[in-house]
Homo-oligomer: A and B are copies of this chain.
């Protein structure tokens, strides 16, 4: 089991404990004709399609093509797109694409950007900073 898979399994459990039913996508999207997010969650009130990244760097780039696929899926499904990023030595932080900086080809998330975090039994809340 790769590091990304382990991290994503950990995330799935955190989401479930935060009140969401969680649907995980197969690791490989090979041969897939239609987009689907890495994780799809709903608590009956809010639903989110989430693409996930883990990184040992301080910056994560997510291609605009990937985000466009995520947004296509979410529009058809009726859920909100979200990017979930896990930096080493830090937990998962979540960002709406529209709140991210972009480069020519990518959405960009840096370690010091303030996002949303999960709270057990509550769901997403804004990250606190020192």
Identify the A interface with B (CB < 8 A): 12-13, 16, 19-27, 33-34, 36-37, 40-45, 47, 73-79
Find out whether the CB atom of A22 lies under 8 angstroms from the CB atom of B34: yes
Within the complex, which residue of B26, B33, B47, B78 is in contact with A26, where a contact is CB–CB below 8 Å? B26
Q: How far is the CA of A68 from the CA of B115 in the complex (A)?
A: 36
Contacts of A12 in B (CB 8 A): 33-34
Find out whether the CB atom of B13 lies under 8 angstroms from the CB atom of A43: no
Contacts of A45 in B (CB 8 A): 78
Q: How far is the CA of A19 from the CA of B75 in the complex (A)?
A: 12
Q: How far is the CA of A36 from the CA of B74 in the complex (A)?
A: 19
Q: How far is the CA of A37 from the CA of B24 in the complex (A)?
A: 10
